[in-house]
A and B are shown apart, each in its own frame.
Chain A
Amino acid sequence: GAGVSQSPSNKVTEKGKDVELRCDPISGHTALYWYRQSLGQGLEFLIYFQGNSAPDKSGLPSDRFSAERTGGSVSTLTIQRTQQEDSAVYLCASSARTSGSPGELFFGEGSRLTVL
């Protein structure tokens, strides 16, 4: 499979627990994005990576959210002390562009997080 892969596809957790969401982008794509989508809502930008660095972290909702990317490939989004309002689908996307407009973003199928 050559697409963006995310895991887990579904995660149910209790309030206060930490969760890790993983994204494996398309091979060779240098740009990686995290968005989240709440039920019936649009996509909310979280963070963007170019290589291993994150030029734009402006969308992370609070300091409970962090993300890293290693080897210019896999990225992990970590949510500490989860709250019910964190329940959403977390979408990862990657892009091959390195300058100018990002061009086409290829999305994974998302990780659906439910915080009880």
Chain B
Amino acid sequence: RKEVEQDPGPFNVPEGATVAFNCTYSNSASQSFFWYRQDCRKEPKLLMSVYSSGNEDGRFTAQLNRASQYISLLIRDSKLSDSATYLCVLPAAGGTSYGKLTFGQGTILTVHP
């Protein structure tokens, strides 16, 4: 299993829809997880951090399932501006240091009118 694996999509949804994507990971010892957002030809930016079972910020909810080793990102009431690539990120396998973060390949989301 890859360290971090995501469905690349693309997910095409209408405005107002609810969409969710999953990310699976192989390192069962991982304690922290992140979702980054990357707009086309731009740099990634932090969207949410997940340190326990989950996190919620407005329309965005991240949930962690340690038993099945996946995290999910749920977006409610999608906006056109949510169109982006969503990157699942976690500390690299075997790394207890504060160094290396492993990025998933990303899930492409397109929200259309």
Q: Smallest CB–CB gap between A107 and chain B, Å?
A: 4
Chain A residue at minimum C-beta to C-beta distance from B43:
A107
- Check A102–B104 contact: CB distance below 8 A: no
B102 near A: Cβ within 8 Å? yes
Q: Are A107 and B45 in contact (CB under 8 A)?
A: yes
Q: Does A62 contact B (CB under 8 A)?
A: no
- The answer to the question of B58 belonging to the interface, with a C-beta cut-off of 8 Å to chain A, is no
Chain B interface mostly: loop
Q: Which residues of A contact B (CB under 8 A)?
A: 31, 33, 35, 41-43, 45, 48, 50, 55-56, 58-59, 91, 97-105, 107-110
Q: Can you pick out 19 interface pairs between chain A and chain B where the beta carbons lie within 8 Å of each other? A: A35-B103, A42-B103, A42-B104, A42-B105, A42-B106, A45-B92, A45-B102, A48-B99, A55-B97, A97-B98, A98-B98, A100-B98, A101-B91, A102-B99, A104-B49, A105-B46, A105-B101, A107-B45, A110-B43
